[in-house]
Amino acid sequence: MHQTDRVTTSALMNDIQRSIENWEEKDINKQCYDFLLEGGIFIYEKAKKDRERYAFLFDNMLIMCKPTGQRRNTPSAHDYRFKEKLLIKHIDVTDIDDTDDLKNGFEIQERNAQTLVLRVRTSNEKEAWMSALLSLLFRSNLDRMLDSKQKEEESAHALILPPVEDYPFSAEDSEENIVLEESHTPGEPPLIQGATLHKLIERLTYHMYADPNFVKRFLTTYRSFSNPSELLDLLIKRFHIPESHECFSENQEAFTRFKKEYVKPVQFRCSLGTLSVQFRVLNVIRLWTEHHFYDFERENKVLKELEEFLYTIKGKVMRKWVDSILKIIQRKVEFSVHFKGISWESSLSHLRPQSPKFKDESPPVEWFMPVQEELDKFSILFLHPIEIARQETLIEFRMYKAVKPSELVGSVFTKKDKAIQSPNLMKLIRHTNRFTYWLEESIITTNNLEERVAVVSRIIEIMGVFTRLNNLNGVLCVVSALDSAPIHRLQGTLEQLKLSYKKSLDEAKELLSNNYKKYFETLRRINPLVSLFW
C-alpha cells in the first residue's frame, strides 16, 4: 500500500473506531494495516431468531457490532455497539450450501473456540465476504512480513512537521484548539464543533483527506469571525511551508516523507486524498474566487494581494492551477467592470467583455391605454397588468439573484454595518418597500371612488400575474399594500370590489397566516422560484 493511501486508511480506521461504543481494545490502526469490507450480516442459530450485526473486515481481524439505531445528532451517540472480535490468523472459513432454512451462509470456526454460522442477504454479498476472507487466509507469509515491516518503518519515521513557532498550522490537536464531533459517518471526515482560526485553516487544507462540505460551509460563514484580508493572509502563510529546518537535518527519511505527504503530491489523484497542503490551498482560493468574489469587489486591496501571491508561484503543475484561478478572476473582473460599473486596480481590469447577445427580441410593451406623451402623468391604469408584473419581476429577480449566502449568515442584515455586510439584500428590501409604497400611493391619490376601485382591482390583477410568474415577493407586496392602515380604512372602496377579486386577495393573505405555513408550503412546491419575500 502506498504511504499516502496508508494515511487515508488510518484516518478511516480512526473514524470506524470512534463510531463503536464500548471499544476498549488497542487502537484498530495499531493492530491492522488495511481495511477491506463492511456491511450488514446475521448470526444464524437454528430454531432461534437471527442476531443482526454490522461487520468491519480488516487485514488482521473481523469486528462485529450491533447497530444502535441512535440519531447522529444525539450527544455522544455511537452508531454501533461492540459485540465480537475474531482474529484472522485464528479462524477458518467454510462455505455452506443453501437450504430451505439457510441461504447465503458460510461458517467461521475459531480454532479451539466457538463456531459461528453467518449469513448475508444476497449471493453477491456472500461472494464478496468469502473472497475477502479467503484472500486474507491464503495470502503468503511474505505479504504478512512485508506489512509488519512497513508498520515498523512508519512507527520509526513518523511524519515530522516544522515547529509551531515557525509554522502555527503544525500544532497537534488538543481540547484547547479543536473539538470534533464524536459520532459521525464512518469513512467521512469528522464534523468540527469548534476550533481556533489556525486549526480551521489547517482542516480547510488538510493533508490527510479532503472535506469539500467543510470548505463550502467555511467560505459561506467565515465573515462572522474573520475577514477576507485575514483569510488570505492565513492561506498564504499556510502555503509557504518551512522546509529547511534543523528538525530535518539529521533525518533524511523523515524529510522525504514530509515532502511526499505534506508539501508536494505523490500523484495527482484527488479521490485518494493525495493532494498536498499547497494544492489544497490553491483549491480553496479557486472556490473562493469562483463562488464568493464579492469579497474582492468590496476590498480591492485583497484582490491585488491575491494576484501578487499567485504570480510568485512557480512550478509546471502548480502553474496550471494558478492559470485556472487567474482565468476565474479575469472573468469576474470583466463582469464587474462591464455590468456593475466597479472600478478596479487590478492587472486584469483593462479587459472588457463582449456585450451579451440574445437570440429573441423582447416582447412589445403591453399598454392598456394609448401611450401618453406626458410621462409625469403616468398612472397604474395605463399599462397592462401583465406588463407591470413582468417588468417588476425582472427587476426583483435581478436583485434577488445578486443576494449572496453570506449576506444572511448570522442575521448580519440586522446589524449596524448591514449596508456593508448585506448590500444586495438591503437593496432588494429598499426596492420592495418603495414598490409597496407606490401601490399605496396610487390608491390614496385617486380621489374618485369609481376610479379608486379600478386602481385596487388593477393591483389585484397584477398580483394574479405575480402568482403565475412565481414571484412571491410581488404577491406579498400587494398584500402588504392592501392590508396597510391607510388602505384598510377605505372600506367603501374595498366593498365595491368584485367577489372574485376579494377571493383572490383572501387566498393571498393566507400565505401570511399560521406563521407563514402556507407560504413555506408554496416555496417547496413551485419551480422555478423567481423572488422570495424578505
The more confidently predicted of residues 145 and 353 is 145
Identify the CA nearest to 325 among candidates 261, 279, 257.
279
The answer, yes or no, to whether residue 245 has pLDDT greater than 60, is: no
Show which of 316, 340, 364 is a domain's final residue.
340
**Which letter, b or e, does each residue of 375-400 get, where b requires 16 or more Cβ atoms within 10 Å of its Cβ?**
eeeebbbbbbbbbbbbebbeebbebb
The three-class DSSP label of residue 106 is strand
For the stretch 348-377, pLDDT in tens is 544 444 444 545 566 676 666 655 555 566
How is residue 188 written as a grid cell? 467521512
Confidence of residue 182 (pLDDT cuts 50, 70, 90): confident
Peptide bond preceding 528 in cis form (omega within 30 of 0):
yes
408 is in which domain, residue-wise?
375-525
Report if residue 161 sits inside a domain: no
Q: What is the pLDDT of residue 500?
A: 93
Report if residue 365 sits inside a domain: no
How is residue 509 written as a grid cell? 393573505
Span 155-167, average pLDDT:
72
Pair 335, 380 in one domain? no
Pair 207, 288 in one domain? yes
Identify the CA nearest to 532 among candidates 477, 468, 463, 458.
477
175: Cβ contacts below 8 Å, ≥ 6 apart: none
Span 152-159, average pLDDT:
60
Pair 298, 422 in one domain? no
pTM, two decimals, is: 0.53
Q: Are 77 and 158 in contact (CB under 8 A)?
A: no
Q: Are 43 and 53 in contact (CB under 8 A)?
A: yes
The answer, yes or no, to whether residue 497 has pLDDT greater than 70, is: yes
> Of the given ranges (137-151, 190-204, 481-495), which has the lowest mean pLDDT?
137-151
Q: Measure the CA–CA gap between 212 and 433, rounded to whole angstroms.
A: 38
Pair 329, 382 in one domain? no
Q: Measure the CA–CA gap between 465 and 507, rounded to whole angstroms.
A: 14
The more confidently predicted of residues 4 and 56 is 56
Q: Is 260 exposed, middle or buried (0-12, 13-18, 19+ CB in 10 A)?
A: middle
Pair 12, 150 in one domain? yes
Give the CATH number of the domain where residue 499 resides. 1.10.840.10
Report if residue 510 sits inside a domain: yes
∠272-273-279 over CA atoms, to 5°? Answer: 135
Q: How many residues does the chain have?
A: 534
Span 168-175, average pLDDT:
87
Q: What is the pLDDT of residue 74?
A: 46
Instruction: Give CA separation, 129 vs 66, 108, 516, in Å.
Output: 18, 12, 52
Q: What DSSP string runs through 244-301?
A: --GGGTT-HHHHHHHIIIIIS-SSS-GGGT---HHHHHHHHHHHHHHH-THHHHH-HH
For the stretch 59-115, pLDDT in tens is 889 999 999 876 444 444 678 999 999 998 889 899 999 888 899 999 999 877 778
Q: What is the pLDDT of residue 459?
A: 94
The answer, yes or no, to whether residue 346 has pLDDT greater than 60, is: no
Identify the CA nearest to 40 among candidates 9, 66, 19.
66
The answer, yes or no, to whether residue 533 has pLDDT greater than 60, is: no
The answer, yes or no, to whether residue 391 has pLDDT greater than 70, is: yes
Pair 273, 408 in one domain? no
Q: Measure the CA–CA gap between 200 and 463, rounded to whole angstroms.
A: 48
**Side by side, which strands form the sheet with 80-87?**
20-21, 80-87, 61-67, 51-58, 35-44, 115-119, 105-110, 91-95
Report if residue 351 sits inside a domain: no
Q: Measure the CA–CA gap between 242 and 246, rounded to whole angstroms.
A: 11
Q: Are 262 and 161 in contact (CB under 8 A)?
A: yes
Pair 330, 382 in one domain? no
Tell me which residue has cell 467521512. Answer: 188
For the stretch 425-462, pLDDT in tens is 889 899 999 999 999 999 999 989 999 999 999 999 99
Show which of 340, 362, 388 is a domain's final residue.
340
Sign of torsion over alpha carbons 161, 279, 282, 223? negative
Q: What DSSP string runs through 22-66?
A: T--SS-HHHH-S-EEEEEEEEEE-TTSPPEEEEEEEESSEEEEEE
Report if residue 14 sits inside a domain: yes
Pair 394, 494 in one domain? yes
Show which of 289, 315, 340 is a domain's final residue.
340
Report if residue 79 sits inside a domain: yes
Give the CATH number of the domain where residue 104 resides. 2.30.29.30
What long-range pairs does 157-161 form, CB within 8 A, spacing at least 24?
157/251, 157/253, 157/254, 157/257, 158/254, 159/7, 159/254, 159/257, 159/258, 159/261, 159/262, 160/247, 160/248, 160/251, 160/254, 160/255, 160/257, 160/258, 161/258, 161/262
Pair 45, 128 in one domain? yes
The more confidently predicted of residues 399 and 264 is 399
Report if residue 403 sits inside a domain: yes
**HSE-CB for 501 with a 13 A CA cutoff:** 19
Tell me which residue has cell 469576474. Answer: 332
pLDDT mean across residues, the chain: 81
Q: What is the pLDDT of residue 175?
A: 87
Q: Measure the CA–CA gap between 404 and 402, rounded to whole angstroms.
A: 6
Q: Measure the CA–CA gap between 391 and 386, rounded to whole angstroms.
A: 9
Pair 384, 516 in one domain? yes
For the stretch 454-469, pLDDT in tens is 999 999 999 999 988 8
Q: Is 498 exposed, middle or buried (0-12, 13-18, 19+ CB in 10 A)?
A: exposed
Confidence of residue 269 (pLDDT cuts 50, 70, 90): very low
Q: What is the pLDDT of residue 392?
A: 92
Pair 126, 209 in one domain? no
How is residue 191 written as a grid cell? 464534523
∠485-491-492 over CA atoms, to 5°? Answer: 140
Structural domains counted in the chain:
3
Span 122-151, average pLDDT:
78
Pair 151, 291 in one domain? no
Report if residue 150 sits inside a domain: yes
